[in-house]
Amino acid sequence: MTYPPSMAADKSESSSVLELIAAAKSGDRKSLAKLITFAENTPEEFKELDTNSNSHVVGITGSPGVGKSTTVNALITYLRARDKSIAVIAVDPSSPISGGALLGDRIRLTEHFLDPGVFIRSLATRGHLGGLSASTALTIQLAQLAGFDYIIVETVGVGQSEVEIMKHAETVVVVMAPGMGDGIQASKAGILEIGDIYLVNKSDRDGAQETAKELEKSLHLSPRRGKWQPVILLGSMEKQIGIEELVKTISEHHEVL
Ligand SMILES: Nc1nc2c(ncn2[C@@H]2O[C@H](COP(=O)(O)OP(=O)(O)OP(=O)(O)O)[C@@H](O)[C@H]2O)c(=O)[nH]1
Ligand SMILES: [Mg+2]
């Protein structure tokens, strides 16, 4: 597959897009990366993307430091061992620097950078939240076109912006950790409404059971939703404890959808 050398000025932009799409579909990651940048800058070029995809879009959200990136890392390790391909989209609504150093540190996926079955992209705010949410949606669509088995969207925080971004995920995993005031966190920002799966991480630490119990009570009090009842799991993603159960529950949710 020949890779377009540049978005040459004499070519129409849409023919470049078509070439890049064809290359991305055939597995060229550089073309996919270029397409995403292109979509961030000129989303209007991408109005009629036809994504007829088998990817499962999984959102991972939760307060800073609960272990979201560690969870993503554990998922990648588990799924790669089963020959699944994964795109990770790390979204930081608080940072204006796309792909900035802060986000690089936060995603902690360096061990997967050289794996061709893993594609990692970060997105950050460029002005308004609506733009970020839209570019997240487009990036997901492009990753779907490229045919990844799983597309994982990680967002930092539990504010309204994360709730907005998580609307693009089919299955939402809310990560919590003991001793981080999650009782208070859970009561705000719609966290009790968005999670399909609640993962109480750091179960190797004191208080994980209590956090899970408190969460169960709060979920009980919140309005019921559809045919899927939110599931609470305990685990330690750093120690790869509970990862199998997490993947199983993610798949079960996908089947129910
Ligand atoms: N004890 C323990 N520590 C963990 C576990 N999982 C993650 N951590 C630690 O928690 C800290 C934060 O983990 P991250 O995965 O970076 O958390 P995050 O939610 O992605 O953080 P932000 O992206 O900054 O919001 C790190 O120091 C991890 O080593 C766990 O299962 N047990
Ligand atoms: Mg992180």
- Cα angle: 96, vertex 100, 101; to 5 degrees: 135
Q: Regarding predicted confidence, which is higher, 31 or 221?
A: 31
Confidence at residue 257, expressed as pLDDT on a 0 to 100 scale: 84
Give the distance (Å) from ligand 2 centre to CA of residue 61: 9
pLDDT at 98 exceeding the cut of 60: no
- Whether residue 111 has its Cβ less than 6 Å from ligand 1: no
Mutate to test the pocket of ligand 1, among 66, 69, 70 (most ligand atoms within 8 A of CB): 70
Q: pLDDT tens-digit profile of 127-167?
A: 666 678 888 999 999 999 999 999 999 987 657 778 888 89
Give 178's contacts (C-beta < 8 A, 6+ positions apart): 200, 202, 205, 206, 207, 208, 210, 211
Q: Regarding predicted confidence, which is higher, 188 or 174?
A: 174
Give the distance (Å) from ligand 2 centre to CA of residue 152: 12
Q: Which of 3-12, 129-138, 197-206, 213-222 is the least confident region?
A: 3-12
* 231's tokens: 């599931």
Q: Do residues 210 and 182 lie in contact, with contact meaning Cβ atoms separated by under 8 Å? A: no
Q: pLDDT tens-digit profile of 104-131?
A: 455 566 677 778 899 999 887 766 666 7
Residue type, 85: S
123 DSSP assignment: E
- Whether residue 65 has its Cβ less than 6 Å from ligand 1: yes
3-state class (DSSP) for residue 245: helix
- Whether residue 253 has its Cβ less than 6 Å from ligand 1: no
Percent of the chain predicted with pLDDT > 90: 50
Mutate to test the pocket of ligand 1, among 112, 153, 238 (most ligand atoms within 8 A of CB): 238
pLDDT at 221 exceeding the cut of 50: yes
- Whether residue 236 has its Cβ less than 6 Å from ligand 1: yes
Confidence at residue 50, expressed as pLDDT on a 0 to 100 scale: 74
Rounded CA separation 69/72 (Å): 5
Rounded CA separation 134/126 (Å): 11
Q: What's the mean per-residue pLDDT of the chain?
A: 83
Q: pLDDT tens-digit profile of 11-69?
A: 455 568 889 999 999 999 999 999 999 988 888 888 877 777 889 999 999 888 899 99
pTM above 0.85, yes or no: yes
Give the distance (Å) from ligand 1 centre to CA of residue 193: 24
